[in-house]
Structure 1
Amino acid sequence: MGETTALVHRSPLRDALVELFEAGWQQATSVFGSEAQETEEQPDLSETDRALLHLLHTGLKDKSIARQPGLSQRTLRRRITDLTPRLGATSRFQAAAQTVRRGWL
């Protein structure tokens, strides 16, 4: 396979895209949370909570996740909303990533 090289010259479009990226990066949230949010104490997680976090970590859609333990999508969303702050996370993905990184799953 041959290699391909692209040369991008300075242009208003390139400058706008760089600024857009930088603005998004400034507002980004760490997947693992800030040091202040982190705690190594394992929260009280039920087996269903653990299963939900594991399924979240796999990237499945809510409909597929809810089907596994036999929950409605509404109940699933409510449980995820309850779990996220308990884990010191700001998003559902962050909650799942933190529990895997800490070895809780």
Structure 2
Amino acid sequence: MELFEACWRQATPVFGSEAQETEDDLDLSATDRALLHLLHAGLKDETTCRQLGLSERTLRRRITDLTARLGATSRFQAGAQAVRRGWL
């Protein structure tokens, strides 16, 4: 039952047109939003680090965190989920 409930919370509505705000949306920092925009623009990690003033290790950690929060398995999927949720 718990596995079903966990999967259900992460599911994407097939015919839903509006993104629903979740608690994760409220915790999204300005740096995380900027990071998503830079990733969406296709910038390399090195350039993104310079733009945000982060080390490569911190950048990778933030990307991993955002990807997990979005329930994605790749950067591309994370971008698609961020757009769907209205984060971008």
Q: Residues 62 and 73 of structure 1 are in contact (CA less than 8 Å); yes or no, is this contact kept in structure 2?
A: yes
| TM score, norm. by length of structure 2 | 0.68
Alignment map for 1:15-34 (pairs within 5 Å): none
Alpha-carbon distance between aligned partners in 2 of 1:48 and 1:83, rounded to the nearest angstrom: 11
* RMSD, matched Cα: 2.1
Kindly, what percent of the aligned residue pairs are identical?
A: 74
Alignment map for 1:1-105 (pairs within 5 Å): 36-38=10-12, 40-42=20-22, 43=24, 44-105=27-88
Amino acid at match of 2:20: E
What SS does structure 1 have at the residue aligned with 2:52? coil
| TM score, norm. by length of structure 1 | 0.58
Alpha-carbon distance between aligned partners in 1 of 2:56 and 2:11, rounded to the nearest angstrom: 28
Listed as ranges, the gaps of 5+ residues in structure 1 are: 1-35
- Higher share of residues assigned helix: 2
Q: Which runs of 4+ in 1 moved over 6 A?
A: none
Listed as ranges, the gaps of 5+ residues in structure 2 are: 1-9, 13-18
Residues 76-85 or 92-101, more deviating: 92-101
State the number of aligned residues: 71
